[in-house]
Amino acid sequence: MKTIEMYVNGEWCNSSNEEWIPVTEPSTGSELARIPRGQSKDVDIAVNAAKDAFESDAWRSVKPFERGRMLTEIAAKINENRDELAELESTDVGKPLSQGYADIDAAIRYFEFYAGAADKVMGDTIPIEDGLLDYVVREPVGVTAHIVPWNYPIQILSRSVAAAIAMGNTVVVKSAEDTPLTAAKIAEYFDQINIPKGVFNHVTGYGKEAGASLAAHPLIDHLTFTGSVETGTAVANRATSNVTPVTLELGGKSPNIVFADCDIEKALTGVTKAIIQNSGQTCSAGSRLLIEESFKDEFLDKLVARFKELSIGPALEDKDIGPILNEKQYNRVMNFLEIAEEEGNILAGGGPVAPKNGENGCYIEPTIIDNVAPDSRLAQEEIFGPVLAVFTFKSAEDAIDLANSTDYGLVTGIWTQNINKAHLLSSRIRSGQVFVNNYGAGGGIQMPFGGYKKSGFGREKGWIALYNYTQVKNVAVRYD
Ligand code: NAD
């Protein structure tokens, strides 16, 4: 079994207690690797290394455009190793191989995008009075912590790490214990380029141990957390006690709103992809379908037919749907399917799929549940599986109310040919992103991403995320 090490202060290391966590392959249930079970002592060493690096002349003297070049080098290394990384991500998370490739390509784009931005974030001058020059500079915040979930490991690491380094910060990443393998590869690439030691650090371990220690560390200057609402709340509480600013990217219960005047083929493809991608284990999964009542039967008949044709299998076979991450996630989804048996009307799927040839992966059929009560758990809670809950509406106003009827507000899809309806709904729906006649805009590296309501606060991706990793200093200079 492969042993993965942590990367701290330019060195590869194990945890201080020399204990290990097994990493399991979702497609087969077999062990892929083992990682160090990082402890608070290990986190402390990593944070101090990042702090020393931040305060060093070696890092301060790197010019912004040179930081950009370093990020470009990382992008190039990801690209050179694209096949290996896609296979690794796909094996580690259980996502179909083509989705593994899409994630690697997104990671390349994040490093490229923020590489280009490194020397383009500018300050301001403010007119006050004659004899007083007032200017505003954006400085790096310092040591940034990045707690990453298991479902899109390389993408989520890349989007915040690249932005933080572009702005001159140093970084401590805590990867998810279930899917740490591509983070270790990124550490390898940082090790290969000429960047001061301690600028990029990767610690591994359980959330309640390494993650909690990182969130509570007093030397952290900014914390980016991506994960569940429950953990995000705990993490934010810890950070707040040190007055550490946080960006929270949390869950969703995102609706696809389908009007009778939509392009039906495009809507069918968009709605299907939005819930089966990564077996529905996606924060922005389109897990609610809101259909105009007059169009319901026609659309649902076609959608059910599509769901029944979807193929399921191990990640590297690149079927439409791969396994669920692990038994814990599987049991969670199955629990919701039991509720669906009692409360709803299951139109497609609804159960497990046996893995092949004695393998132990957990697979679940893509499922459509009709007649879901808008206030039920099926309607309100993030299931994190390939499970779509269906609702109907009569008017645009009804659609808006239904769309806004959960605690979440991450993403919304609107399918209509009517420009008035598209704009009316876009303006009235409370979610961080709205897609009209598409869902996801092909990854949207450049577009701000984040949640309204319990889906989080702050934004990642795009230019705006750079500001998470800067702080503003105002300087007023009196001259005669
Ligand atoms: P999670 O909250 O269980 O874990 C996320 C990370 O936090 C992991 O690295 C974990 O080890 C760590 N962690 C766990 N407990 C911790 C603690 N007490 N203190 C500090 N760190 C701790 O989430 P998950 O199951 O890995 O990911 C799924 C969730 O993430 C879903 O809710 C999904 O919607 C959300 N998510 C959001 C986005 C987004 O950008 N909005 C993207 C992907 C996933």
Give the integer Cα–Cα distance in Å for 351 and 338.
9
**237 and 259 fall within a common domain:** no
Whether 357 shows a pLDDT value over 80: the answer reads no
49: pLDDT strictly greater than 80: yes
Other Cβ atoms within 10 Å of 293 Cβ, number? 13
Task: Express each pLDDT in 273-307 by its tens digit.
Answer: 999 999 999 999 999 999 999 999 999 999 999 99
Beta bridge partners of 137: 473
Residues 20 and 103 in one domain: yes
Same domain, yes or no, for 280 and 223? no
Cα four-point dihedral sign 362, 368, 369, 373: positive
- The answer to whether residues 191 and 323 belong to one domain is no
Confidence of residue 374 (pLDDT cuts 50, 70, 90): very high
Give the residues across from 413 on adjacent strands.
256, 435
pLDDT at 358 exceeding the cut of 90: no
Q: How many CB atoms lie within 10 A of CB 12?
A: 14
Q: Where do the H-state alpha helices sit in 12-56?
A: 40-55
> Distance of CA 93 to CAs 36, 103, 245, 326, 438, Å?
19, 11, 30, 9, 25
Q: Which residue has the tokens 């931005």?
A: 117
13 is catalytic: no
Which atom of ligand 1 lies closest to the CA of 285? 34
The pLDDT confidence band at residue 78, using thresholds 50, 70 and 90, is very high
Judged by average pLDDT, the poorest of 62-71, 352-361, 383-392, 417-426 is 352-361
Selecting among 25, 249, 382, 460, the annotated active-site residue is: 249
Q: Given the CA of residue 214, which atom of ligand 1 is nearest to it?
A: 20
Q: How far apart, in whole angstroms, are the C-alpha atoms of residue 271 and residue 413?
A: 9
Nearest to 340 by CA among 400, 410, 287: 287
Residue to substitute in 147, 214, 217, 324 for testing ligand 1 pocket (most ligand atoms within 8 angstroms of CB)? 147
Ligand 1 centre and the CA of 470: distance in Å?
Answer: 24
Relative to the CA of 230, which ligand 1 atom is closest?
2
Is the Cβ–Cβ distance between 153 and 93 less than 8 Å? yes
* Average pLDDT of span 203-227: 98
Q: What pLDDT sits at residue 13?
A: 98
Region 347-366 average pLDDT: 90
User: What's the domain count of the chain?
Assistant: 2
Whether 168 maps to a domain, the answer reads yes
Mean pLDDT over each residue of the chain, to the nearest integer: 97
CATH code at position 294: 3.40.309.10
Tell me the CA–centroid distance for residue 79 and ligand 1, in Å: 27
Residue 97 sits in the same domain as residue 203? yes
Distance (Å, whole) CA 109 – CA 443: 10
**Backbone φ/ψ region at 478: left (φ over 0), alpha (ψ -120 to 50), beta:** beta
Q: Which of 151, 177, 248 to mutate to test the pocket of ligand 1 (most atoms within 8 A of CB)?
A: 151
Residue nearest to atom 21 of ligand 1 (CA): 211
In terms of pLDDT, which residue wins out, 359 or 131?
A: 131
Query: Which positions ≥6 away from 376 have C-beta within 8 Å?
Result: 339, 343
Q: Is residue 232, in this structure, part of any structural domain at all? A: yes
Residue 387 vs residues 298, 336, 368, 384: alpha-carbon distances, Å: 20, 9, 6, 8
| Cβ atoms of 361 and 355 closer than 8 Å | yes
Nearest CA to ligand 1 atom 35: 227
Which ligand 1 atom sits nearest the alpha carbon of residue 231? 2
Residue 1 pLDDT exceeds 80: no
For residue 149, which atom of ligand 1 is closest to its CA? 26
Indicate which atom in ligand 1 lies nearest the CA of residue 152.
Answer: 43
Nearest-angstrom CA–CA distance, 71 and 166? 7
User: Nearest to residue 317, comparing CAs of 286, 351, 355, 368?
Assistant: 355
Ligand 1 midpoint to CA 423 (Å): 33
The answer to whether residue 451 sits within a structural domain is no
What does the pLDDT average to over 238-264? Answer: 98
At 442 the pLDDT is 85
Residue at 357 is within a domain = yes
Give a yes or no: residue 327 inside a domain.
Answer: yes
pLDDT computed for residue 417 by the predictor: 98
278/263 Cα distance (integer angstroms): 25
Do residue 229 and residue 263 come from a single domain? no
Residues 349 and 469 in one domain: no
pTM: 0.97
Pairing of strands 20-24, 31-36: antiparallel
Residues 162 and 127 in one domain: yes
Q: Which residue has the tokens 């030691």?
A: 197
The residue with tokens 């299951």 is 346
User: In terms of domains, do 205 and 299 share one?
Assistant: no
C-alpha 149 to ligand 1 mean position (Å): 4
Q: What is the separation, in whole angstroms, between the first and last Cα of the chain?
A: 71
Looking up tokens 């004899």, which residue turns up?
131
CATH number, domain of 139, equals 3.40.605.10
pLDDT tens-place string over residues 376-414: 999 999 999 999 999 999 999 999 999 999 999 999 999
User: Is 426:324 a contact under the CB 8 Å cutoff?
Assistant: no
Query: Which tokens go with 373?
Result: 């009560």
Mutate which of 228, 332, 381 for ligand 1 pocket (most atoms within 8 A of beta carbon) = 228
Active-site residue identified among 283, 365, 382, 460: 283
Q: Is it the case that residue 128 has pLDDT exceeding 90?
A: yes
Which domain range does residue 270 map to? 255-446
Q: What is the pLDDT of residue 465?
A: 98
Give the Å distance between the CA of 283 and the centre of ligand 1: 10
Cα separation, 304 vs 367, in Å, equals 9
- Going by alpha carbons, the residue nearest to atom 41 of ligand 1 is 249
CA–CA gap between residue 471 and residue 138 (Å, rounded): 5
Beta strand 170-174 pairing with 255-258 = unpaired
Q: Tell me if residue 106 falls in helix, strand or coil.
A: helix
Q: Are 220 and 244 in contact (CB under 8 A)?
A: yes
Ligand 1 midpoint to CA 315 (Å): 22
Please tell me whether residues 94 and 168 are part of one structural domain: yes
Task: Give kind and range of the element (H or E) at residue 3.
Answer: strand 2-3
Please give all residues whose beta carbon lies within 6 A of any atom in ligand 1, as ranges.
Answer: 147-152, 156, 174, 176-177, 207-208, 211-212, 215, 226-228, 231, 234-235, 249-252, 283, 382, 456
Q: What is the 227 CA–ligand 1 centroid distance (Å)?
A: 2
Q: Residue 356: is its pLDDT beyond 90? A: no
Dist CA 218 CA 28 (whole Å): 41
54 located within any domain: yes
438-445 average pLDDT score:
92
Q: Which helix (H) or strand (E) is 333 found in, with range?
A: helix 327-343
The tens digit of pLDDT for each residue in 139-181 reads: 999 999 999 999 999 999 999 999 999 999 999 999 999 999 9
Is residue 174 within 8 Å of 146, Cβ to Cβ?
yes
197 and 279 part of one domain = no
Active site residue 382: no
Question: pLDDT confidence of 54, banded at 50, 70, 90?
Answer: very high
Residues 158 and 199 in one domain: yes
Query: HSE (CB half, 13 Å, CA atoms) of 421?
Result: 21
Does residue 453 fall inside a structural domain? Answer: no
**79 part of a folded domain:** yes
